[in-house]
Amino acid sequence: MEISIFDFENYRDYLSKVILPQGSYNQQGPNLSRWSQKLGHKSPSLLSMVLNGQRLPSKGLLESLIKELKLSKKEADYLKLKVHLERAQKKGSVGTEMRQELNQLRESVSKIRTKNIDLSQFESIAQWYCIAIKQLIATPDFIEDEGWIAKRLRHKVRPHQVKKAIEYLLKVKAIHRDQKGRLQVTHGLRTSNEIPSEAIVQHHLGMIDQAREALVELPLHKRQYSALTMRMDMDRVEDIKKDIMNFIHEMNSKYTSDESACVYQFNLNFFELTDSDAPRERLQ
């Protein structure tokens, strides 16, 4: 199966997967030595340090990796920007312009990084907290501890539910374990928006319940609730659905942050309040 850099949140996980498919960090291993020679380095120690997170790849090493891995321009830009962002973070100089550039690139590859998941797979992760835990795994301070995860989710989930959720997420390959056994997010998930399913209904009901509780429990600065009641023509329903999906994609692209330790939920509901099938004769 072809491995794509867009399937990995951390570029080092991607490099490790293609360079060390057996999961070995042995500096004297034949695969690491062979790759070091390909990239123009006599000793594999530099490459080992990059894969272990002890060093950032230099500009020259990046160019060599891009050439040897035959990355497309978009893939190469993504890799370079990820490294550039990490370097800036270490120096404490992450600017708005860089974040915007990363968000624009993320938007352009969002469809590539999102995997279609069939309903039979989604049924196993339909509980609202499965997707929340998936996002939590991607946060920089994540700790694989069921009690810690339950606490971070405001005790809305029990530790045994956390354990099952992780098992299910691994099963559908929404998350994976890296070379060191740490949980990492593999890709986004997407289901059909138009197929009726009990699993999808249960997922939305769970998120609606969380929204109801947050309205009461969270302070104003941590939530935003708005509503709009309007009259509109039935033949424009499909148009407004498309606008809603475009808005959601824009929100995701503009505000998703790989460096954030916080997970937020954004719910948007659109439905008819009246009964369009009811008789419309004026009551006498």
Percentage of the chain exceeding pLDDT 70: 79
- What average pLDDT score do residues 255-275 get? 88
Q: Which residue has the higher pLDDT, 87 or 98?
A: 87
pLDDT of residue 238: 92
- What average pLDDT score do residues 53-77 get? 90
CA distances from 281 to 230, 232, 263, 278, 284 (A): 22, 20, 49, 9, 9
Residue 163: pLDDT over 90: yes
Q: Which residue has the higher pLDDT, 114 or 25?
A: 114
Structure token pair of residue 45? 């120690």
- What average pLDDT score do residues 261-268 get? 93
Which stretch of 1-5, 25-29, 74-78, 185-189 has the lowest confidence by average pLDDT?
Answer: 25-29
Maximum mean pLDDT: which of 30-39, 160-169, 245-254:
160-169
Sign of the CA dihedral running 140, 146, 151, 154: positive
Which stretch of 36-45, 47-56, 90-99, 252-261 has the lowest confidence by average pLDDT?
Answer: 90-99
pLDDT of residue 30: 58
Nearest-CA neighbor of 174 among 190, 161, 186, 191?
186
* Average pLDDT value over all residues in the chain: 82
Residues forming beta bridges with residue 188, ordered by sequence position: 114
Q: Which residue has the higher pLDDT, 10 or 189?
A: 10
Contact of 188 with 114, CB cutoff 8 Å: yes
- Identify the band that residue 213 occupies on the pLDDT scale cut at 50, 70 and 90: very high
Residue 1: pLDDT over 50: no
> Left if phi > 0, otherwise alpha if psi is -120 to 50, otherwise beta: which for 213?
alpha
- Identify the band that residue 28 occupies on the pLDDT scale cut at 50, 70 and 90: very low
Q: Which residue has the higher pLDDT, 249 or 69?
A: 69
3-state secondary structure (DSSP) of residue 219: coil
